[in-house]
Amino acid sequence: LRLKLFLALLAFFGITASNLSAESVIGVIESRRDLVIKSKLQAQIMSLSISEGQRVEQGDEILRFECEERNFDVQSALLNLEALKLKLDNSNKLLKLNGATKEAVRLLEIDLANAELQLDVAISRETQCVLRAPFSGFIPEIYIEPFASVQTGDGLLRVVDIDTGWVEFIAPVERMLKVGDKVQITGMDGQSRQISVTSSSVIVDP
């Protein structure tokens, strides 16, 4: 209830068609981006960095999954790459002394390129262990708790961007508001700003 009230205070505005009359109506802010983030992993939640009602910036850490196996894969790939680099360096030295063939050196070069690719794949999989905010906004709902186990596709939380939305309101038809007309919006906190009407349609009131 506290969270819903918090969002309601953000959402409702008084609208005045200042160029036509002083009549006011109630409007609601609508978000352009309202996203439920779902899990891409089947794993345990190790830590949760946010709380309901909190604002996050794009790229902020939201949560971490338990990814011991993926961390191990990265370390293993790093060690394999380092070992192949040493082998290739040694083979190049032997090649100058006629102690190795060009074919053997070339095979090691191919193995090294493949090891670099495997490391990139392991690092890419490891980055999925940290979930970051896809855009700046508020967290109105969180569906999981720390140390909970989730399946692939489970909903984790919801992010809403109210910075780039629009205000929707119903005006009496006799006011004949048109696209481009200016209206004044006043928030619950008393702050006002002037904005333009960007679209309109007819709503029949039964």
Query: Rounded mean pLDDT of 20-35?
Result: 76
| pLDDT score for 65 | 96
Residue 10, pLDDT above cutoff 50: no
Nearest residue to 13 (alpha-carbon basis) of 152, 181, 189: 189
One-letter amino acid at 43 equals A
Query: Rounded mean pLDDT of 8-28?
Result: 55
| pLDDT score for 205 | 66
| pLDDT score for 142 | 96
| pLDDT score for 162 | 76
Nearest residue to 150 (alpha-carbon basis) of 73, 34, 37: 37
When comparing pLDDT for 19 and 65, which is higher? 65
pLDDT (tens digit per residue) in 158-204: 999 977 778 888 887 666 788 888 888 887 777 888 888 888 887 77
Residue 7, pLDDT above cutoff 60: no
| Tokens (6 digits) for 76 | 């293993």
For 168-172, the CB contacts below 8 A with 24+ separation are: 168/27, 168/28, 168/29, 168/30, 169/13, 169/15, 169/25, 169/26, 169/27, 169/28, 170/25, 170/203, 171/15, 171/17, 171/25, 172/23
Rounded Cα distance, 25 and 168, in Å: 10
| pLDDT score for 9 | 35
Secondary structure class of 104 (helix, strand, coil)? helix
Confidence grade of residue 28 (pLDDT, cut at 50, 70, 90): confident
CB 29 within 8 A of CB 165: yes
| pLDDT score for 12 | 45
Rounded Cα distance, 62 and 50, in Å: 6
One-letter amino acid at 80 equals N
| pLDDT score for 5 | 33
> What are the beta bridge partners of residue 196?
182
